[in-house]
A and B are shown apart, each in its own frame.
Chain A
Amino acid sequence: MTDYAVTPFQPIVQGVVTFPDGVGPATPVEFNGEGISAISRPVGFPLGAYLLDLDEGLPGNAGAVQPGTSPISNPNVRTMVTVRGSGVPPISLISTTAVLYLLSPTPGVGADQVLIVMQTFPPAFADPAAGFEIIIWVVQ
């Protein structure tokens, strides 16, 4: 029988991303939690895309995630994003969410940044007005 107890869920990132000045093109974005040292909007994308820099971390536990065979098929990292809704009821208006792990140019470092992209419908980049929760963890 599988010993489920040997696969604990140990996040390297957990927090909430919000927009202190409200949503809109290039407004400030803030991360509140653990495991992230900086957050910004990628150049050229004023809405719906967020670049999170992972903390410098401990090998195999925190910090850069292992890259796998390509940035897309990274086998050792998991990310969960939950959008917070605003209004009554709290509809989020976000219809797609995607994550991408950006490799460091330094060999052996792995992916030290995470890119989150959100869209509304019809597809267009959009900020969720009430922000979103994010959890990142590594499996070995």
Chain B
Amino acid sequence: MPDYAAAPIQPIVEGVVTFPGGPGTQPFFDGKGVSAITRAPGFLFGAYILTLDVGLPGNAGAVPFAPSGPPPLFAPDPDVRTMVTPISTGSPPASFVQSIGVSYIPSALSGVGAPQIEIAITEAVFTLFDPAGGFQIIVWRGLGGGPVA
């Protein structure tokens, strides 16, 4: 049986992404665990690539990419969790966010894992956009367990 007491949440990334020049301008990350943030190539709004700090094994830096065995259709990255929460503006603070997607970009180097995280945020109808108030992000590792079907 899993030892739940031994699986606390220990973030490797925590921070806030904002747009100091307004939506459509250079994104800015303020927090820990990320060394660079850029817009995804070819997308002017709503898609961001965060580069993780070079880190300590098991704590910070690259997240594990996939379990051993044949690669699945979409790599499950079983050991990483991300939470994204828009920060809203206005009263009431509606975010206008319709969907949020996260993806982990593997390194080309074998054994490195995924040193980058890509986030896509859309408004209606699934159009990429920057939330005016920015967004919060937490990334952490979840270890242990196995497949259940």
**Could you tell me which A residues sit within 8 Å of B by CB distance?**
8-12, 14-16, 18-20, 22, 28-39, 55-58, 61-62, 80, 82-86, 88-95, 121, 129-131, 133, 135
Contacts and interface: CB of A to CB of B under 8 A. Distances in A.
B103 to A, nearest CB: 4
18 contacts: A8-B8, A10-B7, A11-B7, A14-B145, A16-B76, A16-B77, A20-B72, A32-B67, A32-B148, A33-B144, A39-B148, A55-B1, A84-B74, A90-B103, A91-B126, A91-B128, A92-B120, A131-B76
Contact of A92 (B9, B83, B99, B146): B99
B47 A89 contact: yes
Interface string B89-120: 00000000011111100000000000000111
Nearest to A20: B72
Contacts, number: 149
Nearest to B97: A95
A11 B145 contact: no
Given A86-B74, A88-B40, A133-B81, A29 B149 contact: yes
A31 B147 contact: yes
B124 interface: yes
B148 A84 contact: no
A18 B47 CA distance: 23
